[in-house]
Structure 1
């Protein structure tokens, strides 16, 4: 089968990592897989070192790549023409977009079109969803909650295929956590209002000095420099410099997670975060906010605590509970490893191939 995935860029986003893992797996299963990017990392100010590794991994797996170009954002007809040319030249059987832009670019295609929605947010008005329904043959939601939300926007039946992660990446980076005197907490995600890092900082500030002295929070991120400056000002003003460290983009997330005892996500909204899925697969106990499909991962993995979003006290209480109960960290860690099969990339790939095949018959 000739499959084309359309995504934003070769960058460190959840949708991008998921599509990369899925494409590599499908390629190894004998499918011809292509990933077309709307933009390059340079076009949108993303990390070029990460992009280089991203593209090299795809090349090694036999996945073909192509960039439409950032100018198609303002001139969508260029994107539509570029996609049509690529689809015809490469005899694509299935066009699978993970961006709304990709739906617009599919307007000239006769190839079956799938759109995967990676968020809970509608993002577009009713009229545009009416147009999307004319172009999209099948919709996919990345969690049960995402599927329900997408159904409410489109009025269509939605396929639910949960986000997944390649287990191969975690060979040698999966272990049961038995904490020592210092508890290392990992966070992964872009510096945006969505991830609500201020919520995390406010929660840390509520902890007493003794407990804060036992914590080291390392945040692997890139993103909005203005928001980052606000976070750094808060850290300085509240003497959290010895507790929180922004470590930049990590090209080896499994290694970064392996160094941690707890994974923390303080988001204001989500779809089904790949970073949280990766944390569960690595054997990390997790503290997450109840947004998007986060609770689905915790319930399936039985590996953590879910708190209400935008509630620093609830987040602080959860941190205190885990840090003060080391045996609970170990229990959650064992559960995470035992239940990681729920988010296997092979399971997601099988569901996608079945969906693709049904569209071609």
Structure 2
């Protein structure tokens, strides 16, 4: 059994974490065991799932004791591969893996940008860490062309060790349930449902979504907005302030974390996804896998998905909220069938089997 140690901050319900865990069963059948090292030192909501899939989790908090703990882990467990998903910090991780004699050392970029403002000190730090990746990574992976371009530069295609491996998903058949929304919204009466599935981070643009929905409601007042995902109390308070101001309390619903988001997607009418930055957004691919239309930002990852899958409308982030609302309304009125979207997904490069095959080839080299 080939032993792979994945490096994450914590094993919570982020896209990269969930996509990696989703590969465990298939990879184990191929003779590859996934274990995890979390740099926060904290337990995550996916820990029990990982253990059920025969994976081990090691808690090595970044700090004064990290070097010793991580070194001891690498030298006692005899991993074949260290696969790091923590942006430029992977440079330091892979340096330690090299010192420990790990032959296969992978840096995997999951986003198009690190996000936020970049101070001079942070820029210097990232420059040093990028140099360490250049020196110590045997393979450099990214979830889409845009992620590779954003982190590694325009000449990445000239480097043999650089590869784009798209995340993979299954085609899922979900029977329609005419009473689905009444379980969560007792006043539901056949309105169109605009859905957002995302944790309340700044990149996901929740405040702007409230502004867009308000304008959509002025175009068509027979619509609801549903937010699914981990909530942030401060951001939610700002959203509620807008919702109260626009008198939308009966039209906007917060459903928090949900384990089976595909059920919500399969019963919604459109996914609103105006993120400021993403890698290859799994939420957009999950929506396509069940036939849900998407209105999303002009981000490289979404544009790459649109090249392969129907039902995705892209709006520039620079366009006004009014323009977003009008395009959202057009999507709601679109006659494209869910079956068309599912069929285009089923014949795309984003299937689980492709992801497993390509990643296994990297591990086996």
Q: Using structure 1 for the length normalisation, give the TM-score.
A: 0.84
2:73 and 2:218 map into 1 onto residues whose CA distance is: 59
Q: 1:159 to 1:80 in 2, by over 3 A?
A: farther
Matching residue of 1:319 = 328
2:51 and 2:13 map into 1 onto residues whose CA distance is: 17
1:187 deviates by 1.0
1:338 aligned residue (334, 338, 343): 343
1:55 and 1:173 map into 2 onto residues whose CA distance is: 30
User: CA RMSD, aligned part only?
Assistant: 2.5
2:42 and 2:12 map into 1 onto residues whose CA distance is: 6
Question: Are the counterparts in 2 of residues 106 and 135 from structure 1 also a CA contact under 8 Å?
Answer: yes
1:59 aligned residue (51, 64, 81): 51
Match of 1:241, SS state, is: coil
Matching residue of 2:182 = none
The question of 1:99 aligning with 2:99 is answered no
1:95 deviates by 0.6
Would you say how many aligned residue pairs link Structure 1 and Structure 2?
A: 333
Match of 2:94, SS state, is: helix
Q: Equivalences for 1:70-219 in 2 at 5 Å? A: 72=62, 75=63, 78-100=65-87, 101-109=89-97, 110-111=101-102, 112-121=104-113, 124=123, 125-152=126-153, 157=159, 158-167=162-171, 170-172=172-174, 181-209=190-218, 211=220, 213-219=221-227
The question of 1:349 aligning with 2:356 is answered yes
Match of 1:242, SS state, is: coil
Q: 1:264 to 1:207 in 2, by over 3 A?
A: closer
1:40 deviates by 5.7
2:143 and 2:248 map into 1 onto residues whose CA distance is: 36
Match of 1:280, SS state, is: helix
1:104 and 1:225 map into 2 onto residues whose CA distance is: 34
Q: 1:222 to 1:153 in 2, by over 3 A?
A: farther
Question: Are the counterparts in 2 of residues 80 and 107 from structure 1 also a CA contact under 8 Å?
Answer: no
CA deviation vs aligned residue, 1:141-185 (integer Å, no higher than 9, x gap): 111111222331896832101122344xx353699xxxx942122
Question: Are the counterparts in 2 of residues 143 and 160 from structure 1 also a CA contact under 8 Å?
Answer: yes
CA deviation vs aligned residue, 1:298-345 (integer Å, no higher than 9, x gap): 2211122111115312321121102233x23x2xx2232112242122
Moved over 4 A (4+): 153-156
Q: Equivalences for 1:193-342 in 2 at 5 Å? A: 193-209=202-218, 211=220, 213-311=221-319, 312-325=321-334, 327-328=335-336, 330=337, 333-341=338-346, 342=349
CA deviation vs aligned residue, 1:58-88 (integer Å, no higher than 9, x gap): 223222222223xx1xx2x633433332233
Match of 2:23, SS state, is: helix
The unaligned stretches of length 5 or more in structure 2 are 116-122, 178-188
Question: Are the counterparts in 2 of residues 94 and 356 from structure 1 also a CA contact under 8 Å?
Answer: yes
Question: Are the counterparts in 1 of residues 213 and 225 from structure 2 also a CA contact under 8 Å?
Answer: no
1:245 and 1:166 map into 2 onto residues whose CA distance is: 28
Tell me which protein shows more helix as a share of its residues. 1
1:237 deviates by 0.9
1:30 deviates by 2.7
Q: Using structure 2 for the length normalisation, give the TM-score.
A: 0.83
2:303 and 2:251 map into 1 onto residues whose CA distance is: 27
